[in-house]
């Protein structure tokens, strides 16, 4: 495998003229293929109810080299991870102990609100729903020194609102188009379509939703997308919606928590009914088969206690929950940490189901509450090799390296269990990329790329688990930025070049 030399020399030189030509081909491809965001808007000026324009999503001009064998490993791990997280979500006692009262719920308000809503449903005797997970397991390549082999290490496992499945398929399509139409001017024999894996994420994720819809059993029911107000990443969601409609004949209703607060109701037989927002002539509520949350992963999404009540109302129905409160809690970073403790993963996954491979994809994690101050001391001592994380999703919440000691010093002792320390994964340092963001100059910089693998799982008590791997994504960011994401730094969509 020519991995080392590939990393140190990537990407090969392109002239300014070649780069400009690729940029034109890439941006027009993006604008032609829904590789789009809605434009930014200022908080003072609400965006128009019907958008008039869009911008291309940020992306990398060339695909990113990933060792073939590690890519295959990431894909093949997904089914073990699907199974693992399904079983965790069904283990009420485990989740209560880790995330419930007496655990994280007493310390972290957001976890507490989600767990309390789930506990209340159980106390009221509401039967547990069918659970659908549309998951994304995220990895970085790990190579602590240039003498070490490159391996694959997991960053985190997402059980709610995992996004960019559809747009990543479009980026992979764009890189394939550039390879096939320009061969990137012959700069590298690696840039051949045989080295670009197919990415069928839209089909894969829609199949998960379709399977759940079918399990619900009423063919003209709608799938409900619970969305954030003024979502700019709407095309990533619409592509899934079109796939559901065109390939499976399933209709989608999109509403925010605020809207559902007035439109959602539960029938005596526990069907979830949702009335249209702009009722027009026909305001008849529709029955919902599957509730797919693209909102609700962050406290910001719950503007008031009423929104938590709405979440609980949706879950009190017999619509499939993607994810259920239990499955959302299973995706907590504290759960990720507890799983790494001796024997815990192995309670959920047997050797023949790949427990050792899963464990091998982890770096060291521990709770700041470990052993009477030892966990916090260790985090301070080893700060430069670490990130510490709270129970949050969506980027921008972690604390890195030299910021750790002063943070830990001021953190009240009782809050320590809600923070996990994690060894920093060390990606190969010598990879470059050309990053393109609408309205900005093209940037040529050293980068770090994060590989995500999608999967789905449909499960419930007394029902056989169904699960599949469902495509992948790559996100690339400048190497000096700790987190990718919207607010911090410069993170773009990317795809895989097998090397």
297 has binding-site annotation: yes
DSSP 271-317: -EEE--SS-TT----EEEEEEEESS-SSGGG--SHHHHHHHHHHHTS
Question: Measuring CA to CA, how many Å separate 491 from each of 66, 135, 144, 236, 449?
Answer: 18, 21, 23, 16, 9
Is 347 annotated to bind ligand?
no
Could you tell me how far CA 50 lies from the centroid of its own chain? 27
Instruction: Assess 483 for contact with ligand ADP (CB under 6 A).
Output: yes
Which range touches ligand ADP (CB under 6 A), out of 34-42, 210-218, 372-380, 391-399?
Answer: 391-399
349-378 residues near ligand ADP, rule: CB under 6 A? 363
Q: Closest separation between CB of residue 470 and ligand ADP, Å?
A: 19
What span, in angstroms and rounded, lies between the C-alpha atoms of 202 and 243?
Answer: 7
Q: Are 240 and 36 in contact (CB under 8 A)?
A: no
92 binds, among Mg ion, ligand ADP, none (CB under 5 to 8 A by kind): none
Is residue 158 part of an annotated ligand binding site?
A: yes
Least Cβ distance, residue 386 to ligand ADP (angstroms): 8
Decide if residue 393 touches Mg ion (CB under 5 A). yes
392 is in an annotated binding site: yes
Residue 183 binds which of ligand ADP, Mg ion, none (CB < 5-8 A, kind-dependent): none
By rule CB under 6 A, what string of x and - marks binding of each residue 103-142 to ligand ADP? Answer: -----------------------------------x-x--
Residues 139-158 that bind Mg ion (CB under 5 A): 156, 158
CB 240 within 8 A of CB 205: yes
Count residues binding Mg ion (CB under 5 A): 3
DSSP-derived secondary structure for 121-174: HHHTTPPPPPEEEEEEEEEEEE-SSTTSPPEEEEEEEE-S----HHHHHHHHHH
Tell whether the torsion through CA atoms of 60, 62, 63 and 64 is positive or negative. Answer: negative
Nearer to ligand ADP, 231 or 450 (CB): 450
Given candidates 23, 73, 398, 438, which one binds ligand ADP under the rule CB under 6 A?
A: 398
5 is in an annotated binding site: no
Q: What is the DSSP string of 3-38?
A: HHHHHHTPSPP--HHHHHHHHHHHHHHHHHTT-EEP
Binding map of ligand ADP across residues 60-99, x = CB under 6 A, - = no contact: ----------------------------------------
Catalytic residue among 176, 261, 382, 394: 394
Tokens of 144: 């602590």
Q: Least separation, in Å, of the C-beta of 298 and ligand ADP?
A: 9
First to last CA, the chain: 7
- Say whether 150 counts as a known binding-site residue: no
State yes or no: is 315 an active-site residue: no
Check the annotation: does 426 bind a ligand.
no
Out of ligand ADP, Mg ion, none, which partner does residue 398 contact, by CB within 5 to 8 A per kind? ligand ADP
CA 66 to chain centre: 20
Decide if 384 is catalytic.
no
446 is catalytic: no
Cα gap 497→66, rounded to integer Å: 6
Active site residue 17: no
370 is catalytic: no
In which residue are the tokens 């001592």 written? 381
Q: Which of 461, 469, 454, 458 is nearest to 209 (CA)?
A: 458
Nearer to Mg ion, 301 or 393 (CB): 393
Residues 416-445 that bind ligand ADP (CB under 6 A): 422, 424-425
- DSSP letter string over 213-233? HHHHT-TTPEEEEE--TT-S-
Residue 96 interaction partner, one of ligand ADP, Mg ion, none, beta carbon < 5-8 Å per kind: none
CA 496 to CA 473: how far, in whole Å? 8
Rounded distance between C-alpha atoms, residue 377 and residue 383, angstroms? 10
Is 103 marked active-site? no
Q: In this structure, what DSSP letter does residue 403 have?
A: G
Q: Does 387 bind ligand ADP (CB under 6 A)?
A: yes
Catalytic residue among 254, 333, 370, 416: 333
Give whichever of 260 and 422 is closer to Mg ion, judged by the CB atom. Answer: 422
User: d(Cα 99, Cα 89) in Å, to the nearest integer?
Assistant: 12
By CB under 6 A, residue 489 contacts ligand ADP: no
Neighbours of 465 (CB within 10 A): 14
CB of 343 to ligand ADP, least distance (A): 23
Residue 223 burial class via C-beta count within 10 angstroms: exposed 0-12, middle 13-18, buried 19 and up:
buried
Spatial distance between the Cα atoms of 289 and 321, rounded to a whole number of angstroms: 9
CB atoms within 10 A of CB 52: 8
Residue 400 known to bind ligand: yes
| Residue 19 CB, nearest approach to Mg ion (Å) | 30
Count the site residues for ligand ADP by CB under 6 A: 18
Active-site residue identified among 60, 105, 156, 468: 156
| Residue ranges that bind ligand ADP, judged by CB under 6 A | 138, 140, 155-156, 363, 387, 389, 393-395, 397-398, 422, 424-425, 450, 483-484
Residues annotated catalytic, as ranges: 136, 156, 158, 163, 333, 389, 393-394, 475
- Residue ranges of the annotated binding site for Mg(2+) are 156, 158, 393
Point out the annotated binding site for substrate: 136, 160-163, 231-233, 237, 294-297, 450, 475, 486-487
Annotated binding-site ranges: 136, 156, 158, 160-163, 231-233, 237, 294-297, 333, 389-398, 400, 422-425, 450, 475, 477, 483, 486-487
């Amino acid at each position: 495998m020519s991995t080392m030399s590939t990393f140190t020399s990537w990407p090969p030189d392109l002239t300014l003229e070649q780069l400009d030509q690729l940029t034109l081909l890439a941006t027009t491809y993006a604008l032609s293929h829904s590789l789009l965001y809605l434009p930014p808007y200022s908080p003072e000026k609400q965006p128009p109810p019907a958008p008039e324009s869009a911008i291309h999503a940020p992306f990398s001009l060339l695909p990113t080299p990933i060792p073939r064998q590690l890519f295959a490993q990431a894909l093949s791990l997904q089914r073990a991870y699907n199974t693992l997280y399904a079983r965790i979500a069904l283990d009420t006692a485990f989740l209560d102990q880790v995330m419930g009262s007496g655990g994280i719920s007493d310390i972290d308000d957001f976890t507490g609100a989600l767990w309390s809503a789930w506990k209340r449903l159980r106390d009221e005797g509401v039967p547990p729903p069918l659970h659908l997970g549309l998951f994304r397991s995220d990895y970085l390549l790990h190579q602590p020194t240039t003498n070490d082999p490159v391996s694959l290490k997991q960053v985190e496992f997402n059980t709610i609102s995992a996004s960019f499945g559809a747009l990543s398929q479009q980026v992979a399509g764009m890189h394939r188009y550039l390879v096939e139409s320009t061969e990137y001017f012959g700069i590298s024999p690696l840039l051949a379509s045989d080295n670009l894996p197919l990415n069928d994420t839209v089909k894969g994720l829609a199949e998960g939703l379709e399977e759940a819809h079918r399990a619900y059993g009423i063919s003209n029911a709608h799938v409900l997308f619970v969305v954030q107000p003024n979502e700019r990443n709407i095309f990533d969601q619409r592509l899934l919606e079109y796939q559901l409609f065109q390939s499976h004949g399933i209709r989608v209703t999109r509403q925010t928590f605020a809207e559902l607060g007035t439109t959602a109701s539960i029938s005596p037989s526990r069907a979830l009914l949702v009335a249209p927002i702009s009722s027009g002539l026909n305001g008849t509520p529709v029955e919902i088969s599957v509730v797919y949350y693209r909102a609700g992963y962050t406290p910001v999404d719950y503007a008031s206690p009423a929104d938590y009540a709405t979440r609980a109302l949706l879950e009190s129905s017999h619509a499939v929950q993607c994810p259920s409160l239990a499955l959302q809690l299973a995706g907590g970073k504290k759960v990720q940490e507890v799983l790494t403790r001796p024997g815990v993963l192995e309670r959920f996954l047997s050797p023949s189901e790949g427990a050792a491979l899963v464990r091998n994809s982890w770096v060291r994690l521990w709770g700041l509450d470990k052993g009477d101050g030892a966990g916090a001391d260790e985090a301070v001592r080893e700060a430069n090799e670490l990130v510490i994380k709270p129970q949050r999703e969506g980027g921008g919440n972690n604390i890195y390296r030299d910021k750790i000691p002063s943070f830990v010093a001021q953190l009240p002792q009782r809050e320590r269990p809600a923070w996990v320390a994690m060894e920093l994964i060390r990606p190969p340092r010598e990879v470059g990329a050309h990053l393109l963001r609408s309205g900005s100059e093209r940037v040529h910089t050293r980068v770090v790329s994060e590989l995500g693998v999608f999967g789905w799982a449909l499960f419930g008590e007394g029902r056989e688990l169904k699960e599949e791997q469902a495509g992948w994504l790559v996100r690339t960011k400048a190497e000096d930025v700790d987190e990718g994401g919207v607010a911090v730094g410069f993170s773009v969509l990317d795809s895989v070049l097998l090397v």
